[in-house]
Amino acid sequence: MGKVALITGITGQDGAYLSEYLIKKGYTVHGIKRRASLFNTDRIDHLYQDPQLNDRNLILHYGDMTDSMNITRIISDIQPDEIYNLAAQSHVKVSFDTPEYTANVDGLGTLRILEAVRLLKLTEKTRIYQASTSELYGLVQEIPQKETTPFYPRSPYAVAKMYAYWITVNYREAYNMFACNGILFNHESPLRGETFVTRKVTRALSRIALGIQGEVYMGNLSSKRDWGHAKDYIKAMYLILQQDQPDDYVIATGVTTTIRDFISRAFKEIGVIVEFRGEGANETGEIIGIDKDLFVDKIGEAYLAAIQSRIGEKVVKVDPKYFRPTEVELLIGDATKARTKLSWEPQYTLDTLIKDMMTSDVKAMKKEAYLRDGGYRIMNYFE
């Protein structure tokens, strides 16, 4: 009999990759999804349709991290071997607008999971992974950040996640539970939510290249992030729960990059050369050249003349509405412990991550361009 896992946040980026990974390992995966007025299972729908996978190995339950009884009932029914608590209001900027809700879901939601396992007397059986975050380091006290670096959270999101981190440690120590924190640095993918910076950029740049968007407005271009690929990071979640002893681990690449540089590299991936000038709210990114062969290869001949006519135009601008009341300026992680104890090694680099995201978004936006043009660009969409 394969193991049984429960994933909260299964409809999110990480939930989608993790559920596929576990099903392929022979797990029966249960997921908690929220009731929404529109379908919200896009990221996992393919798992039902894949003939290689048995659709009985993925079972969804309606639920919400704010509803203790619902969570307790689901855990009682499923009796999971492993719980991956990925559900969260995960947007840092939005947490300043909805601080109480964020605390309830991200902070108390974790307590509800731990307490349900304890009350149901599953502490011997059920292992718990808590989705902790590099946002805990906030105003960083050490460079690079590792498991022993002091926390200094800088948003309601990070403060809520700090409660979740410590309540996980506390239940481990108080009740001898196998409860672990994965302190994951930013990880992205073609499935990344559209309002996080990398996906916002790869979508916007694809649309600019295809002539369906003129420019993109960004926030702080100087902050630095340690970006990995979600496909690599969900493997670390799994490994953390397979160890003999419960523990907390930093998962990171050890490379940090500014938002500005991410944009330049994503443009370069499709043959558009951009230069940034100015500072703060007045900074802009201007097209200074086109690598014709690369652009034709990645985007298509039909769009070349239009993008060439835009040389000298500013296509990246700053809108202060995207600035945060308190910013996390620099994140760079030291994952030595995970590399040593878990034998975890990321497969993707920043460049291969960008390539994966740009390829996916160019394809999706070509479809949008095709539909918008009523089929005029049909040859390009299918090429």
Catalog residues that contact ligand GDD under the rule CB under 6 A.
90, 92-93, 133-135, 185-186, 195-197, 200, 218-220, 223, 225, 259, 322, 324, 327-328, 331
Task: Tell me if residue 152 is catalytic.
Answer: no
- Least gap, CB of 226 to ligand NAP (angstroms): 10
Residue 228 touches which member of ligand GDD, ligand NAP, none, C-beta under 5-8 Å by kind: none
11 contacts which partner out of ligand NAP, ligand GDD, none, CB within 5 to 8 A by kind?
ligand NAP
Q: Which residues of 191-229 are buried (b: 16+ CB within 10 A; e: fewer)?
A: bbeeebbbbbbbbbbbbbbbbeeeebebbbbebbbbbbb
Measured between alpha carbons, how far is 197 from 202 in angstroms, rounded to an integer?
9
Instruction: Give bridge partners of residue 181 from the DSSP assignment.
Output: 130
Q: Is 133 a catalytic residue?
A: yes
The one among 19, 28, 57, 90 contacting ligand NAP by CB under 6 A = 90
Q: Which residue is nearest to ligand NAP (CB)?
A: 12
Nearest distance from C-beta of residue 81 to ligand NAP, angstroms: 20
Length of the chain counted residue by residue: 383
Closer to ligand NAP by Cβ: residue 167 or 184: 184
Task: Pick the catalytic residue from 28, 133, 168, 256.
Answer: 133
Q: Is 28 in the site for ligand NAP (CB under 6 A)?
A: no
- 138 contacts ligand NAP (rule: CB under 6 A): no
Please identify, using beta-carbon distances, which residue of 19 and 90 lies nearer to ligand GDD: 90
Using the minimum distance from each CB to ligand GDD, give the nearer residue, 93 or 355: 93
Contact of residue 259 among ligand GDD, ligand NAP, none (CB under 5-8 Å per partner type): ligand GDD
Given ligand GDD, ligand NAP, none, residue 9, with its beta carbon under 5 to 8 Å by kind, binds: ligand NAP
Whether 157 is catalytic: yes
Does 285 sit near ligand NAP (CB under 6 A)? no
CA 181 to chain centre: 16
Mapping DSSP onto H, E and C, the string for the chain reads: CCCEEEEECCCCHHHHHHHHHHHHCCCEEEEEECCCCCCCCCCCHHHHHCCCCCHHHEEEEECCCCCHHHHHHHHHHHCCCEEEECCCCCCHHHHHHCHHHHHHHHHHHHHHHHHHHHHCCCCCCCEEEEEEEHHHHCCCCCCCECCCCCCCCCCHHHHHHHHHHHHHHHHHHHHCCCEEEEEECCEECCCCCCCCHHHHHHHHHHHHHCCCCCCEEECCCCCEECCEEHHHHHHHHHHHHCCCCCCCEEECCCCCEEHHHHHHHHHHHCCEEEEEECCHHHCEEEEEEECHHHHHHHCCHHHHHHHHCCCCCEEEEECHHHCCCCCCCECCECCHHHHHHHCCCCCCCHHHHHHHHHHHHHHHHHHHHHHHCCCCCHHHHHC
* Marked catalytic residue, from 20, 135, 188, 283: 135
- The yes or no reply on residue 15 touching ligand NAP (CB under 6 A) is yes
Binding partner at 13 among ligand GDD, ligand NAP, none, C-beta below 5 to 8 Å by kind: ligand NAP
Burial of 48 (0-12, 13-18, 19+ CB in 10 A): exposed
Binding residue (CB under 6 A) for ligand NAP from 71, 75, 78, 88: 88
Contact partners, residue 253, CB within 8 Å, separation at least 6: 185, 226, 227, 228, 333, 335, 346, 349, 350
For residue 324, the partner it binds in ligand GDD, ligand NAP, none, with Cβ less than 5 to 8 A by kind, is ligand GDD
Among 110, 133, 198, 206, binds ligand NAP (CB under 6 A): 133
CB nearer to ligand GDD: give 291 or 327: 327
Q: Which does 40 bind (CB under 5 to 8 A by kind): ligand GDD, ligand NAP, none?
A: ligand NAP
CB of 33 to ligand NAP, least distance (A): 6
Active-site residue, from 17, 129, 137, 157: 157
Shortest spacing between CB 34 and ligand NAP, in angstroms = 4
Closer Cβ to ligand GDD, 75 or 218, answer by number: 218
Catalytic residues: 133, 135, 157
Question: Site residues (CB under 6 A) for ligand NAP?
Answer: 8-9, 11-15, 32, 34, 36, 40, 64-66, 86-90, 105, 131, 133, 184, 186-187, 193
